[in-house]
Every structure is written in structure tokens, then in C-alpha cells.
Structure 1
């Protein structure tokens, strides 16, 4: 049963500037307000104005419970007794000029977007405004308050760089280059944060971004963590010659795991003449192969021994051994010993690997070329591009909330608000 609307009126003057009346319905609320300051003096000639009439300004406000709320502000208009100019009382404390959403509504929408991970559609429904009105106003407020903060780049000494797919299309994926601030992770002061996002993925894109930064900021960068893409390494070497490039453990292990997966697929095709299917020995152990030896159960050990007993799978067994050696080196608690063991593994697979192990030979060429970057992670503990991948996962979740993005500028702004480590400047609610 639908309840009757209720209307309440204040009986006396409102010295505190709060609502002077409210009208509640099951699906909406309206608060009537008035401007406390008279504002009767002409700013043009200084003469006193006389009241002329009253107009009402409607503003979307933060929801009252589940109800979208509208502020009805009674604004008095004055006419100057000297020059005849007409003006209204100042309402900028409630909302910016010509805005449709109050400052409280903007704060609520920004908190919902950044803290509660709401979609723009959900925020617009809570404010009872159109999607475009909510999107434009809240992103403008977020840009002003968070993204345009001049101190956002201060104190950065360690960065990570990676590519990220921001949109899937029939003509191919569209990429951006993401730059991550890894300084809090390295100093154990907090999580990593998204520093910036640039369209494209190439050496030129990253180089232009670095060149646009102030020289003082460039001089403060000590470490650049990256994957195996040589374009990022070259750009960092040219623009940040004093920074140490690090190919972090996450990407080294992923490269080795890819080599193992490619070897398994090749041997599968050579033995069966087709892709793996349920019941095929190599297909059944595809996930077990990528598990560290120290984490295997007895059942998984037995399954691997059964697969490796077949001489047709000897190349998979050899590649699996290299993969386990790499994991063992990174899991060694003694960094000096782990570095020595990893250096020995790289030298071993670079020197005498049978021609049949195509994937291992390719991996060895990459690791030998980037040996200094790979081994550098032992000299600078806590430097990893793993947090970069974690932020990429958060951005994937953001795309799911929004059901995809078409506008790159919109996506970059939303991503910076989502993963930039920012929090709105929360104010006590009135």
C-alpha cells in the first residue's frame, strides 16, 4: 500500500541554514532550503538593492535513505536602487554555477564511484539525473580533486610499466601503456597505485611519457620494473640512464611457464597429431606441470611420474625441470644463494641444450640477453611488477562494472580514480 506524502514546515527562522521544509514520498524526497545571507548590496556600484522577487533553484542531492533527493533552494532576487542592475543571492556554497548537482551530491557520487565501486548508471539513478549529467559532473569533480593534484607524482622512486588491453574489438584489441608507482610496495608502506595511462604500447609511447616528466622527477627514479618487452627497456635506458631496469620474477616465471606450455602443446601434436583432449596424459597434467614441486601432492607426483615414464614425453620433462629450477631460485630465502643458482641455470641452458628443446633454447636467448635485469631483482628486494598485474586485474573488474568502455579519455579517468590510490576528501555529513 502506497503511503501518503508527508510535508513538514519549520515554524521559526532557520539561523543554521538547514532545510526549512521537506516533502517525502516512497520513491523520492524534496528538501526546501533558503539562503541565509541577504546579499542585498550591489557589487557593481555598491548601492543597496531592494527585493524584487524569488526564484527556485533545483539541485540533485545525495539520496535520503533509498530515495533520490532534490534540493529546492529559494533564491531572492534584488534590484539595485542606483544602477538598476538585477542579481540573485549567491548559492555557490550549495553548488557550482549552472550545476545540476549539489556539492553534497557530487561528494556522494564520487565516494560511490571510488570507494563503493558503483557504476555511473547506479550513481545517476541515486541522484535521479541522466547518465551524462552524472558522468560529466562527477568526473569533473574527481579530476579537480584527485587527478589534477599537483603532488600526485611526488616521492616516486620505483615505477613499473606494462601493457593493458582496454577494449576488445572485432578488428583486434586496443592497448594502453600503464605506469605504476611501486614505491609503497618497495618501502612496505602500502599498496601500489596507478600513476598514469597512455594510449598505445611501444617504445615511443613510453619514451614520450618519460620525456614529458620534469627533470627533477626523472632524476629521482631509481628502479624501473618491466616485462620482457625490449621497447620499454630501451625507452627507460634513454630517458632514465641512472635508473636500474628490473625484469621482475613474475614475468621471468611467466616466460618460463609459457615455454613449458608451448613444449607440451608441441609434443602433444607430435604424438597424437591433434590438440589435447580429455583423457590425454599431457592434457590431464597441464595445470600440474605449472605447480611448484614443493606444493605437489602425492597424487600429483604419481601422475607426473606416469607421464614422464613415457619416452615420447622426455622433452616436456626436460623443460619442466628448467621451470622448477627457476622457481627454486626465486624461493630461496638466501638472496645471494638464489642469485647464484639462477645465474647457474641461465648459463646452463644457454650453453648446452639439445636442438630438440626449441622452447628452452628460445627462453635461454631471452634470459641471457636480459641477464642483468633478471638478476637485478635479487639486488633490490621488493621490486616486482606483480602489483602491476594486480592493478590490471582491478581494471578488468572496472570494465565489467561499466559493461565496457568506448571513450578512452573516460576510461583513463575512471581507471585513475579506481586504482590511483586516491580517496575523496570525506567531510562530515550535515
Structure 2
């Protein structure tokens, strides 16, 4: 914008249209492109970019947002996707419970190097089967018919969406969450026995309280000293051997994913036959839960060990982005930032080459 200091000038102020900046823009196209590139490749706050450019947060973000939207719209993010992962996370830790949950859909397809792409495809509000199912419906049959594998955590809402919208896909229950269910049962039994025997919650010096973390460790990782201590504490605090039995059930559940496929399938059959009829109520409940997910658990062995690990990796990238930004209030801004940070634009970290001196 130019101002004429000549008193006789009737225009006084006028602007010049130039390819370096859009009409009425406050930043040049080069500055905007630089700022967008920084968000794509680095964990950096918009406020930091505004400080570097010497402008306000609103100035830089309002200039960047349309450019980011245009770039994301121009990308064919859904091309070549044949495996999906889904998980929820909290994008905003304020408001009534559940209002801050979003569903993240992640590409699990493998690239030329054989590794999962692990890139965010989209975020939708809510943690419901409808949220996931509606998103799949919006993509159309050309996309959904190409999905071969769909991994998830043990949430029936997402499972129902996969059943309805991805009938040809193999549903795989994430191994980590299967094992986690077993670990939770061990802890529930330990706390109940603690109350039944001592009449109070665990305290320092109580036998079962002292091994609460050891009970979560895989048997193959325990040292001889830990095994001796574990047995002594169970002998002292577990009179009816309920915690001991729950721990052995947990170890058998873990063994599924350390075995060869044929052995793993056999272990699953043994677990589903024994757990539901166990006299320990927590183990019986676990058995019924696992029985409902039988097909999805066994699918692990039919998909070369497909898991929801890539989705959890993307959640980690998003969480870092959210922390750097010190939180968000606007979901649309959050979605754009997440797609930019976890959409697969950042180069893979390469193994450093160390020079030998």
C-alpha cells in the first residue's frame, strides 16, 4: 500500500497488485509457503512462526489455513490404501466427559520397503461406530472395496462399523490390548484378594501390594531373584491361590503372541475353552470377552501379525503437536494441524552414518 504525500492527489492511497502477494494479503506467498513448510516438517508452534515473521498469531494462521486446506484437498490421500487402523484420543481436555474425543483413521498399507506407511487419513469428532461408519460411507465403494485389513482396539462400536462398511476386510484385534485385558484382570484379582484377606487397600509392607508391578511382567523377563520374591509374596498373601492362578492365565494369554501361528491358534482354543468356566469371576469374565472377539484374535495369525501399532505411532505424533501448541480450542484448526504433522509428509528418520576416524 502506498500513500501519496502530494496535496493535489485525489487518490491519496493506492495498492499495487504483484505476484509476490495476493490482493489484500498481509504476508507474501513466499512467507506463507515457508511457514507451511515449517509446520509440515517440524514440531513448531504457530506463535513461534508469528514471532519469526514479526506478525500476530491471527495474521500468520489466517494466511496459512487456506493454503493448507488447498494443499490437503489436492492430495489423493486415499490412493493405494488397503489396510486401515482406527483409534480414539482426546483432543481437548475440557468440557463434559466424552466431548473431547475424536476418532483417528490411519493408513496401515505397506510401502515398497515393506514398512507400514503409518499416516493419518482423517480425524472425525466422537468415539462411536457411527463416526467411523459415516466416514467410511463418505469415501464411497471405490475406497472401501479395496480395504483388505482393518485393525482396532476392543471397542464394539468400531467393530460394527467395519462389519457394515468393510464386509470384505479382515478384522484384527490389536495384540497389545488383548494382553492388556489380561493384565487388568490380574490387578483386579489382586485388589479383591487384598481386601478379602486384610480388609483394606494395598499398603507398603502388604505382600500382594509389594508385587503389584512384578505381576505385570512376562515370566520370561523375570530374574531368579524376582521369581523367588514373587513366590514368597504369593505364599504369604494369596491363601486360596486366586492371584497365582490369574497370573498364570495372564502368562498363557501373553504366550499367544510369542508362539508360531499353529501353536498360537491352539493356545487361543485352550484359553477360550478354559477361561469362561473358571471359578474366579474375573477370569470367567475375561474368557467371555475373548470369546466374543475370537475371530478378530485369530485373524492376527492370518495377517502376518497385523496390529494397531501404526495408529498408536500416529497418536504419538499428534500428541507431540498438541503439546507444542499448548492445546487447541478449534477442532477444524486441530484437524488441519494433525493432518499436516501426521499425514506422511515428514521424511523418515534415517540411520546416521558415523565416520570412522
Q: TM-score, normalised by structure 2?
A: 0.87
Asked if residue 276 in structure 1 is aligned to residue 202 in structure 2, the reply is yes
Q: CA deviation at 1:336?
A: 1.8
Where does residue 156 of structure 1 map in the other structure?
Answer: 81
Q: CA deviation at 1:170?
A: 5.4
Where does residue 55 of structure 1 map in the other structure?
Answer: 2
Where does residue 305 of structure 1 map in the other structure?
Answer: 231
- Tell me which of the two structures has the higher relative contact order, counting C-alpha pairs closer than 8 angstroms and 6 or more residues apart: 2
Tell me whether 264-273 or 154-163 shows the greater mean CA deviation.
Answer: 264-273
Asked if residue 397 in structure 1 is aligned to residue 320 in structure 2, the reply is yes
Where does residue 30 of structure 2 map in the other structure?
Answer: 104
Asked if residue 359 in structure 1 is aligned to residue 282 in structure 2, the reply is yes
Distance 1:170 1:212 in 2: 29
Distance 2:241 2:74 in 1: 58
Distance 2:134 2:171 in 1: 18
Distance 2:157 2:95 in 1: 26
Q: Secondary structure at the match of 2:304?
A: coil
Where does residue 168 of structure 1 map in the other structure?
Answer: 93
Where does residue 137 of structure 2 map in the other structure?
Answer: 211
Q: CA deviation at 1:415?
A: 1.1
Query: Contact 1:157 / 1:223 at 8 angstroms: preserved in 2?
Result: yes
Q: Secondary structure at the match of 1:312?
A: coil
Q: Secondary structure at the match of 1:232?
A: helix
Distance 1:396 1:285 in 2: 32
Where does residue 33 of structure 1 map in the other structure?
Answer: none
- Segments of 5+ residues of structure 2 without an aligned counterpart are 4-13, 348-357
Query: Contact 2:129 / 2:161 at 8 angstroms: preserved in 1?
Result: yes
Q: 1:238 to 1:118 in 2, by over 3 A?
A: same
Query: Contact 1:203 / 1:231 at 8 angstroms: preserved in 2?
Result: yes
Q: 1:170 to 1:88 in 2, by over 3 A?
A: closer
Query: Contact 1:249 / 1:330 at 8 angstroms: preserved in 2?
Result: yes
Asked if residue 183 in structure 1 is aligned to residue 109 in structure 2, the reply is yes
Where does residue 415 of structure 1 map in the other structure?
Answer: 338
Where does residue 258 of structure 2 map in the other structure?
Answer: 331
Q: Secondary structure at the match of 1:324?
A: helix
Query: Contact 1:207 / 1:236 at 8 angstroms: preserved in 2?
Result: yes
Q: CA deviation at 1:190?
A: 4.4
Q: Would you say how many aligned residue pairs link Structure 1 and Structure 2?
A: 336
- Segments of 5+ residues of structure 1 without an aligned counterpart are 1-53, 57-86, 425-430
* Two-structure CA RMSD over aligned residues (Å): 2.3
Distance 1:376 1:405 in 2: 38
Structure in which a larger fraction of residues adopt strand: 1
Asked if residue 318 in structure 1 is aligned to residue 245 in structure 2, the reply is yes
Asked if residue 221 in structure 1 is aligned to residue 157 in structure 2, the reply is no
Q: Secondary structure at the match of 2:85?
A: strand
Query: Contact 1:196 / 1:416 at 8 angstroms: preserved in 2?
Result: yes
Distance 2:272 2:205 in 1: 35
Distance 2:216 2:112 in 1: 27
Q: TM-score, normalised by structure 1?
A: 0.73
Q: 1:169 to 1:55 in 2, by over 3 A?
A: closer
Distance 2:241 2:111 in 1: 41
Query: Contact 1:186 / 1:381 at 8 angstroms: preserved in 2?
Result: no
Structure in which a larger fraction of residues adopt helix: 2
1:70-109 to 2 correspondences below 5 Å: 90-92=17-19, 94-109=20-35
Where does residue 371 of structure 1 map in the other structure?
Answer: 294
Distance 1:324 1:412 in 2: 40
Q: After superposition, what is the alpha-carbon deviation per residue over 1:47-68, rounded to whole angstroms, capped at 9, x for unaligned?
A: xxxxxxx938xxxxxxxxxxxx
Runs of 4+ in 1 over 3 A off after TM superposition: 87-90
Q: 1:272 to 1:410 in 2, by over 3 A?
A: farther
Query: Contact 1:257 / 1:323 at 8 angstroms: preserved in 2?
Result: yes
Distance 2:240 2:112 in 1: 41
Query: Contact 2:207 / 2:234 at 8 angstroms: preserved in 1?
Result: no
